[in-house]
Every structure is written in structure tokens, then in C-alpha cells.
Amino acid sequence: MGQDSQTAPDLFDDVDYDPLLDLEPDEDDLDDGGGQLAPSGDVQAKMLYEQKADNRTPEERIADLFESLEPRRRVLLGILDYLDEPKRSDALQDKVVELQEYDHSVYSGYDYSLLLEEAGAIRKASEDGSEFDEEEEQLPDVVEVDGERFYKPTDGKQVFWVVTDEGRAYREADDPFGRLTALLSKDEYYHEIYRDVLTACESEAGQTIDGLTAIVDANPRSKNPRRHSSYFAKHLEDCGALRWAGSWKTTEVGTKGLELLLEQMAEAAEKAAAGEDGNVENDRATEGE
């Protein structure tokens, strides 16, 4: 390398440049001590309000939660029913595992308890159902060993969960049979398929997915418009008429709905037969004239 060559740092030795020289701080951004100002109090309050403001009533929040978690309706209602009396949080966890044995979800008992509490459907409680005091001081146990007394840390205050008045009212107002009758009224064209599905799932073993598919596909009415077995299973499950327990099984609501459906189909058949008989008589009368 020649004598005239320069390294990169040497190239800037004669340049009088300070990159921070022209960056004068804005006086509005500094407090009297030269430190950076935090957002003003009214800005913080506005941010907090925008994040947490919720003018909905507990009834509205509960309804919105059930609507947003419609596939979890059965589990949510099972939790509200289970918490009719105060239950420990670990017992609630076990109950949710039981409710989701054949219906796995990313939601745990802990997740459900927070969601339902936020909605106003359940609340923390003491063992006797009274209000849970999170501020209550938990004193350590005193133990005596060889004449010496020691403090023994406790496990902390046990949390219990219990349904609120609003949560109980929502559970009691739930009407799965009403939803089922509304479905059957709306889907009258598919009465035969609903009958066959509910009947097939009444056995103790229930019905497999493949078995249900075969039943639905065997009926011409499933072809136009095309309806797969999942369409009927999902609608009946939403109404509490079917449940998945390793196989599809008809519930008490479903059995009650099936009885009603058979009556409706019998009445429709009688009316159709009476109409045909009337048409035959009219045709004979016309021929005799």
C-alpha cells in the first residue's frame, strides 16, 4: 500500500462534523429537570377508558360471550350448572376436563373461569359462598418443634367459584328444545333425514361418522341442494339434540324432539292422504257428470 493511501477512519480526520449537534431538544418534550415527559394525565385516562370502557350490562356481556363461543355452548352451560354451589378452582378444572373429554379445546378451566367472570356469569367466592376478599391477610401457621415455635407458610387462601344471579338466569332461560322445534319447523324439507339421524343415534353405541354419512347420503333429499351429514349433526348438536361421546348419541332433548317429529310427520301424511282421497272423489264426480 502506498504512502498516499488512507484508511477509512483517516478520511474523516479533517471533517468537523457532530451528528448530534443540530438535534436540539424540543422544550415541550422536557420537564424542568431535563427528563423526558410522560403522557399527560388526561391522555393516560383517555387511553385507559378506551381500553376498558364497557357500557354493556352483565346480561348483554353473557349473551355476547355465548354468541362468540357458540361451539363451546355446551361446556359453558355445563360450567354454570356445576357452579350452582361454590366449587374449588381445582374442582372446576377437573369438571372442564370431563366436559371436554370427547370435545377437546384450547380453552382450559382457567380460561373459562376468567371469561365467565369478566362477563359477569360467575364470581370468586369463599367456601360458604360469601364474597371473596382478595385483600384479606393470610396469616402463617405457627408450629412448635422441640419447644421452639416457628412460622409455617400457608398455601394461600383457596378460591371458590359460584354462578351469579345473571349467570343462573341465562342458564335457566336456555331453551334447547325450543331451538330444536324452531329448527324442525324451518327445515321441514329434511324431516325424513332428521328422523333417521335421531333414530340411528338412539342406541347405546350411538352412530359413527361414517354410519351417519351413509344414512344421510341414502336419502335423495340430501342431494339437491347438497347437504352432508355434518350439516345435520352440527344443527342437532347446537340444539342439544345430539352429543359427541366417541360416537354421535341422541340426548334426552333429541329423544323428545324425535317423538314430536314423528307426530308431525304422521299428521302430515294423514293430511296428504286425505287430500288425495278428496281429489279422487272429485275426479269421480266429474266423470259422472
Domains of the chain, by residue range, sit at 58-172, 176-275
One fold for both 58-172 and 176-275?
Answer: yes
pLDDT tens, N- to C-terminus, the chain (289 residues): 555 545 555 555 555 555 555 555 555 544 444 443 444 444 444 444 344 457 899 999 999 999 999 889 999 999 999 999 999 999 999 999 999 998 888 999 999 999 999 999 999 998 887 887 665 555 566 677 777 776 666 555 688 999 999 999 999 999 999 999 999 999 999 999 999 999 999 999 999 999 999 999 999 999 989 999 999 999 999 999 999 999 999 999 999 999 999 999 999 899 888 876 555 455 555 555 5
For residues 66 and 78, what is the distance between their CA atoms, to the nearest angstrom? 12
Give the predicted TM-score (pTM) of the model: 0.65
CATH code: domain 176-275 is: 1.10.10
Q: Are 160 and 89 in contact (CB under 8 A)?
A: yes
- CA-angle at 88, arms to 85 and 93, nearest 5°: 110
CATH 1.10.10 fits 58-172, yes or no: yes
Helix, strand, coil percentages for the chain (3-state, nearest 5) = 55, 10, 35
41 C-beta neighbours (distance < 10 Å), count: 8
Q: Which three cell numbers stand for residue 271?
A: 293430511
Give the DSSP H/E element, type plus range, for residue 144: strand 141-145
